[in-house]
Amino acid sequence: MSAILIIFYVLAAITLSTAFLTIYSKNPIHSAIYLVICFFSIAGHYLLFNAQFLAIVHIIVYSGAIMILFLFTIMLMNLNKEDEVHKPRITRLGAIVVFCVLSAVLITIFINSKTIVGDYDTTGEDFQSIKKLGKILLNEYMVPFEFASVLLLVAMIGTVLLSKKEKTNK
């Protein structure tokens, strides 16, 4: 077996196990940490596909920004085990059954799939170049890029204002 295939199987095992632990964990902070590990293993898959830029953007956006927002949300909600409504065992059993069935379906599809044999057409243009992506992003898509940044800034300010507790005069 080649080294890349071994790395793929290890990353796949990490991805599936941390995704399962994200759903099955009782502690929301532990779920968020398992999700971060899952995101990093998915970035490893991107690296195996020779998509370095996509892997780095995935780490920055999902593992960085979105998970920080999740953790802030969890901490702002102040989830305690005493306040948490315990789900019945049948719900957990149902989640495990659905996970196993979906895993079996995906493994069956993977085993029965056929690889594409033959050459593919190339134009000679490098679409993964960071230089090319930067030119497109900051020339053709400059306005949507700025709108997204303003939208994120407004959302962050709104979150801070909503989480701020008002002082009561007593």
Residue with tokens 């979150």: 159
Averaged pLDDT of the chain: 82
- How confident is the model over 81-102, as pLDDT tens digits? 555 566 678 888 898 899 999 9
Backbone φ, ψ for residue 45 (5° rounding): -65, -40
Question: Topology of 3-107 in CATH?
Answer: Four Helix Bundle (Hemerythrin (Met), subunit A) (1.20.120)
| Residue 16: predicted pLDDT | 94
Query: For residues 154 and 13, what is the distance between their CA atoms, to the nearest angstrom?
Result: 39
> Which amino acid type is present at position 28?
P
Report pLDDT digits (tens) over 93-150. Answer: 898 899 999 999 999 998 988 877 777 677 766 666 777 777 887 888 888 888 888 8
> Rounded to whole angstroms, how far apart are CA atoms 105 and 83?
37
pTM of the model: 0.58
Better-predicted residue by pLDDT, 45 or 167: 45
Average pLDDT score over residue span 63-70: 77
Angle between helices 28-48 and 3-24 (to 10 degrees): 160
Q: Which residue has the tokens 């902070």?
A: 29
